[in-house]
Chain A
Amino acid sequence: MATIVVDNITYTYGANSPFEKHAIRGVSLEIPAGQLVGIIGHTGSGKSTLVQHLNGLLRPNQGRILLDGRDIWAEPKKIRDVRFRVGMVFQYPEHQLFEDTIYKDIAFGPKNMGLDEAEIDRRVRQAAAYVGLDEALLDKSPFDLSGGEKRRAAIAGVMAMEPEVLILDEPTAGLDPRGREQILAMVGDYQRSRGTTVLLVTHSMEDVARVADRVLVMADGQVAMLDTVKRVFSRADELERIGLAVPAVTKILLLLRRGGVAVDTAAYTVEQAVAQLLPLLGGDGV
């Protein structure tokens, strides 16, 4: 288990050029081990830039990133070891598949770690099982798989490195509702069974509401909120000011309260909303 501490980092794209852009400014936060944290924010809020710092793909212009108390850039030559401990699944990860079989592609990461054949085999099969890929698919070419299967194979490729922290950048982007549901359920199961720290970058408040323990809200390159799901969603006005929508059920409760109905607007799942509304309706004698 690893704790990530981000200590006042700043990153600027294209420094000292006319295209200079401050992607993140003075971000500090701590992500305790074993939690599933949702990261939300607008396009360009700096969420993708932030997560690329956590495994050393980007090096901050200022500030430090501590993994279990150690600065990950203390020895720049060993940054690869950090990438094995902090696994990162990019947006549309199925575009990175390159081997002639799914098996070999999932084995790419473990192979780079220098593991022996038996261990690689164990990890590939286990990762495939986590993402729900049938064993029969392992010997197929990535081109023979469906879009959803390809995406799950690509995620397995990162899980097979057995990272202590798993970062997923928009893993449900471009999938149909069923595909989304599968990926989210799989990420949740994986997190619970392994106790890994998982960071889930997403646009969707519903996704966050479903699986996350805590929520990090990014706005304009800075941390706007980092709190439990319940507390973040109870600040709906602030979220809307940033331009983020609260989940539909929370929105309904908010509108009800604005209309004078006494409800607790912190509910963010359908079940919670039902629990809020049923007594009210019952009171009216329905």
Chain B
Amino acid sequence: MMKDITLGQYFPGSSLLHRLDPRMKLVLTLLFIVLVFLPQNWWGLLAVLVFLVLVVALSRLPARLLWRSVKPVLFLVLFTAVLNMLYVHTGTTLVQWGFIHVTTGGLQNAAFIAVRILCLIAGSSLLTYTTTPTALTDGIEQLLSPLKWIKINPHELAMMMTIALRFIPTLMEETDKIMSAQKARGADLESGGLLQRVRALVPILIPLFVSSFRRAYDLAMAMECRCYQGGEGRTRMKQLRTAPRDWLSLAVYAAVAAGLVVLNGLFGSVLK
């Protein structure tokens, strides 16, 4: 059960996407989010879709991975689409039944928003699929370095994130073990009402908290023993360096953005 959860999971590879500088990938992902929200008509959205397919092809990841990232948000997508369908009342009326008032404009809006969200999720999940957690936090740390000026330490933020990511699988395993141990003592996790089920979690959550604290304490001790004292004066084994391919990718994204703006101008907006 616990093994099915993928959170920020990295899939090893050596594609162009894998080799991009993580800082650039973070910037490009933000840019991609902008790209997804730029189009105002179907031609623009189609262009985004084609662009997404090309990027996915470049990443050489199996398509089912994207399906897996999209699956958990399908409900959200459906919910947003239905709301749009019910609340946008432009175009010709198709169904009028009580409070349900479906129009062609509403349907169009619903479909548009659904495709937009799916592109957004699929595109941004490429970031974690192609970047190791360490590279990702390195990238975040360096992108956030201007925050030093307002007395926020980006190194500490990045270190916390690295540690959190590192401990997710460990804690999953720990949860599995504690659950087995309590089940062996007859803990009933599967039946009963809501209150009973919440109460049944106590024997699992308490040992889990205790062990998290124990691990945190041990880790802090181990870090101190190796003279860790924050980012001050720390050097890296792997220096991040931008290569021509990073700037080229940025140029491509910028060109696509410009293209989308032109498409907006050419075909007008279909969104209400």
Residues of A within 8 A of B (CB): 14, 19, 52, 55, 57, 80, 83-84, 87-88, 90, 93, 95-98, 108-109, 112-113, 157-158, 161
Contacts and interface: CB of A to CB of B under 8 A. Distances in A.
* Interface magnitude class on chain B: 10 to 19
A88 B184 contact: yes
B3 A14 contact: yes
B243 interface: no
A83 B188 contact: no
A60 B188 CA distance: 21
29 contacts: A14-B3, A19-B3, A57-B183, A57-B184, A83-B183, A83-B184, A83-B185, A83-B186, A84-B186, A87-B184, A88-B181, A90-B180, A93-B181, A95-B178, A95-B181, A95-B210, A95-B211, A96-B182, A96-B185, A96-B207, A97-B207, A98-B203, A98-B207, A98-B210, A109-B186, A112-B186, A112-B187, A161-B185, A161-B186
B195 interface: no
A64 to B, nearest CB: 20
B3 A112 contact: no
A170 to B, nearest CB: 13
Contact of A109 (B185, B207, B211): B185
Interface in B52-102: none
Contacts of A52: 180
Nearest to B203: A98
Interface string B176-198: 01101111111110000000000
B157 interface: no
A18 to B, nearest CB: 10
Contacts of A112: 185-188
Q: Taking chain B's interface residues, is the majority helix, strand, or loop, or is none over half, making it mixed?
A: helix
A54 to B, nearest CB: 11
A161 B186 CA distance: 9
A123 B51 CA distance: 69
A57 B189 CA distance: 13
Contact of B177 (A90, A113, A158): A90
B185 A158 contact: yes
Contacts of A14: 3
A67 to B, nearest CB: 15
A84 B180 CA distance: 14
Contacts of B206: 98
A54 B180 CA distance: 13
Contacts of A97: 207
B202 interface: yes
Nearest to B204: A98
Nearest to A100: B206
Nearest to B3: A14
Contacts of B211: 95
Given A90-B177, A98-B206, A108-B203, A55 B184 contact: yes
Contacts of A84: 186
Contacts of A109: 185-186
Contacts of B188: 80, 112
B239 to A, nearest CB: 33
B60 to A, nearest CB: 16
A161 to B, nearest CB: 7
Contacts of B3: 14, 19
Contact of B178 (A55, A96, A157): A96
Contacts of A80: 186, 188
Nearest to A84: B186
Interface string B159-187: 00000000000000000011011111111
Contacts of B203: 96, 98, 108
Given A19-B3, A87-B184, A109-B185, 4 more contacts: A14-B3, A95-B210, A96-B178, A98-B203
Contacts of B207: 95-98
B180 A108 contact: no
Given A96-B207, A98-B206, A112-B187, A57 B178 contact: no
B186 A96 contact: no
